[in-house]
Amino acid sequence: MCGISGIIGKNWDDEILQRMLRIQHHRGPDAQDIFINEDHIVGLAHNRLSIIDLSDSGKQPMCDTTGRYWLVFNGEVYNYLEIKLQLDKEFSFRTRTDSEVVLYSFIKWGPACLDKFIGMFAFAIWDNKENTLFAARDRFGVKPFHYAFDGKGNFLFASEIKTLFAGGAVTRPNEMAWASYLQDGKYDHADFSFWQGISKLMPGHHLTFKDEKISIIKWYDLAEKTGIREDNRPIDDIIEEYFSLMQENIIFRFRADVPVGINISGGLDSSALLGLVDKVQGEDSVVKAFTFITGDARYDELPWVNQMIGKTKHPLSPVMLRPEDVPALAESVQYYEDEPFGGIPNLAYARIFEEARKQGILVLLDGQGMDEQWAGYDYYRKASTTEVTQTVQGSKDSPVRPECLDNEFRLRADKELFPKAYPDSLRNLQYRDTFFTKIPRALRFNDRISMRSSTELREPFLDHRLFELAFRQTEDKKIHGEQGKWLLRLLLSKHLPGRIVEAPKRPLQTPQREWLREELKEWAEANIEGALNGFGGSWFKKEDVWRLWNGFLKGESDNSFYVWQWINLGLMRNFVTPYSNIN
Give the CA angle between residues 337, 267, 284 to the nearest 5°.
100
Please state at what angle helix 235-253 crosses helix 486-495, rounded to 10 degrees. 70
What's residue 150's pLDDT?
94
Listed residues 433, 468, 495: the one ending a domain? 495
Judge whether 182 lies within some domain. Answer: no
Q: Which of 431, 463, 495 is the last residue of a domain?
A: 495
- pLDDT the model gives residue 481: 85
- Greater model confidence, 575 or 224: 224
Same domain, 13 and 130: yes
Rounded to whole angstroms, how far apart are CA atoms 443 and 436? 11
Range of the domain at 276: 224-385+420-495
Of 129, 154, 169, the residue that ends a domain is 169
Q: What is the DSSP letter of 192?
A: B
Nearest CA to 103 among 158, 95, 457? 95
- Whether the per-residue pLDDT at 394 is higher than 60: the answer is no
Identify whether residues 477 and 530 lie together within a single domain.
no
pLDDT score for 329:
98
Tell me: do 267 and 161 sit in the same domain.
no
How far is residue 122's CA from residue 147's CA, in Å, rounded to a whole number? 12
d(CA 166, CA 84) in angstroms, rounded, equals 37
List beta partners, residue 215.
Answer: 208
Mean pLDDT of the chain: 92
Written as one string, the DSSP assignment of 508-532 is -SS-HHHHHHTTTHHHHHHHHHHHH
Asked if residue 145 belongs to a domain, the reply is yes
pLDDT tens digits along 75-123: 999 999 999 999 999 999 999 999 999 999 999 999 999 999 999 999 9
Average pLDDT over residues 418-430: 94
Note whether 330 and 444 are same-domain residues. Answer: yes
The pLDDT of residue 506 is 58
Structural contact between residues 206 and 219, judged by C-beta atoms closer than 8 angstroms? yes
Q: Starting from the edge strand earliest in sequence, which strands make up the sheet with 213-218, in order?
A: 62-63, 69-77, 119-127, 132-137, 205-210, 213-218
Residues 429 and 544 in one domain: no
211, part of any domain:
no
Is 196 among the domain residues? Answer: no
Taking each helix axis from N to C end, the angle separating 438-452 and 425-435, rounded to the nearest 10 degrees, works out to: 20
pLDDT at 69 over 70: yes
pLDDT band at 385 (very low <50, low <70, confident <90, very high): very low
The residue-averaged pLDDT of 191-205 equals: 97
Q: Supply the pLDDT for residue 581.
A: 42
In whole angstroms, give the CA distance from residue 299 to residue 305.
13
145 with 61, same domain: the answer is yes
Distance CA 497, CA 501 (A): 11
CATH number for the domain that contains residue 335: 3.40.50.620
Pair 548, 461 in one domain: no
2 assigned to active site? yes
CATH number of the domain where residue 44 is located: 3.60.20.10
What is the number of alpha carbons within 13 Å of residue 118 lying toward its C-beta? Answer: 24
Q: Rounded mean pLDDT of 464-469?
A: 98
Instruction: Give the Cα separation of 291 and 200 in Å (integer).
Output: 31
Is residue 198 scored above 80 in pLDDT?
yes
Rg (CA), the chain: 23
407 lies in a domain?
no
What pLDDT is recorded for position 93?
A: 95
Cis peptide before 303 (omega within 30 of 0): no
Query: In this structure, are 517 and 489 located in the same domain?
Result: no
Asked whether residue 185 is domain-assigned, the answer is no
* Same domain as 85, residue 42: yes
Dist. CA 209–CA 38, nearest whole Å:
19
Q: What is the model's pLDDT at position 392?
A: 59
Q: Which residues are CB-contacts of 157 (< 8 A; sequence separation ≥ 6)?
A: 4, 5, 6, 124, 133, 135, 145, 146, 147, 164
What span, in angstroms and rounded, lies between the C-alpha atoms of 431 and 433?
Answer: 5
Asked if residue 432 lies in contact with residue 418, where contact means CB atoms within 8 angstroms, the answer is yes
The answer to the question of residue 500 being in a domain is no
What does the pLDDT look like over 144-176, one tens digit per residue?
Answer: 999 999 989 999 999 999 999 999 998 899 999
Q: Are the C-beta atoms of 539 and 531 separated by less than 8 Å?
A: no
**pLDDT at residue 455, rounded to an integer:** 98
Reported confidence tier of residue 503, pLDDT bands at 50, 70, 90: low
Mean pLDDT to the nearest integer, 429-444: 96
Residue 261 lies in a domain: yes
Could you report the per-residue pLDDT of 338-354, keeping only the tens digit for each?
Answer: 999 999 999 999 999 99
> Given a cut of 70, is residue 318 above it in pLDDT?
yes
Residue type, 199: S
Number of domains in the chain: 3
Whether residues 468 and 540 fall in one domain: no
pLDDT at 504: 65
Position 507 pLDDT exceeds 60: no
* Alpha carbons 574 and 487: distance in angstroms, whole number: 47
Q: For residue 497, name the pLDDT band (cuts at 50, 70, 90).
A: confident
| Confidence (pLDDT) at 498 | 72
- Judge whether 136 and 123 are in contact, CB under 8 Å: yes
Residues 476 and 371 sit within 8 Å (Cβ to Cβ): no
**pTM greater than 0.85 (yes/no):** yes
Look at residues 52, 54, 49, 14 and name the one whose alpha carbon lies nearest to residue 34: 14
Alpha helix ranges (H) inside 123-267: 161-166, 175-184, 222-226, 235-253
What's the DSSP call for residue 324? Answer: G
What is the SS3 assignment for 286-322?
Answer: CCCEEEEECCCCCCCCHHHHHHHHCCCCCCEEEEECC
| Claim to verify: residue 345 and residue 475 sit in the same structural domain | yes
- Report in angstroms the alpha-carbon separations of 86 from 80, 465, 520: 10, 21, 57
Nearest-5° Cα angle at 43, 5 to 114: 55
Which whole number is the average pLDDT over 388-407? 77
Type of residue numbered 399: P
What is the per-residue pLDDT across 523-546, written as a single tens digit (0 to 9) for each?
A: 999 999 999 998 888 999 999 999
- 121 contacts 420 by C-beta, under 8 angstroms: no
* Same structural domain, 545 and 436: no
pLDDT band at 575 (very low <50, low <70, confident <90, very high): low
Nearest residue to 186 (alpha-carbon basis) of 574, 573, 565, 544: 565
